[in-house]
Amino acid sequence: MAVILEPKKPHSGKQIEQLATKVLLRSIELLGGLSKLAQHRNLTWLASLARACLAVVLKEEYMKTEKEIAEYLGVSTASVRNMLRANVDVVKEKLADLDKLSEEEKGELKTHTAGAVAKLAYRLVKQEQNTDTLIEGLSAGEPG
């Protein structure tokens, strides 16, 4: 049985931004919400999270290489590699005890941690999109 892969639609910067924004918002939720980040004076984490969200979207949705992502973001290839190879399971443990992070971790969100949060958030966003698509498909089949 042959598997037919449909080509992805050409992307625009706007499509990348829209999905990355959804992933960023989900990442903020995973970190306890914007208020919690503000209370802990961790708003500087937003830049790291934004880069990681863009990196994950570019890799997962548009199959961009680490080099292409690095050029897009204006960061090193090593930084992109750290984001994309981050271990989601490790960050889940950190998220459970966010208040207990070391002072160094509280001061600056490490690249691999931002990457893991972004990967986890991306998975959640994609699950929601798939569920919404399924529900829309089922609703479209109902008689009106």
- How much is the mean pLDDT over the chain? 81
Residue 66: the pLDDT is: 97
Residue 128 vs residue 102, higher pLDDT: 128
SS3 of the chain: the string is CCCCCCCCCCCCHHHHHHHHHHHHHHHHHHCCCHHHHHHCCCCCHHHHHHHHHHHHHHHHHHCCCHHHHHHHHCCCHHHHHHHHCCCHHHHHHHHHCHHHCCHHHHHCCCHHHHHHHHHHHHHHHHHHHHHHHHHHHHHHCCCC
- Model confidence, pTM: 0.77
Residue 6: the pLDDT is: 47
Question: Is pLDDT of 5 > 80?
Answer: no
Number of H helices, E strands in the chain: 8, 0
Residue 70: the pLDDT is: 96
Residue 57 vs residue 5, higher pLDDT: 57
Residue 26: the pLDDT is: 96
Question: Is pLDDT of 13 > 50?
Answer: yes
Question: Is pLDDT of 3 > 70?
Answer: no
Residue 74: the pLDDT is: 95
pLDDT tens track for 28-84: 999 888 888 787 776 778 899 999 999 999 999 999 999 999 999 999 999 999 999
Residue 7: the pLDDT is: 44
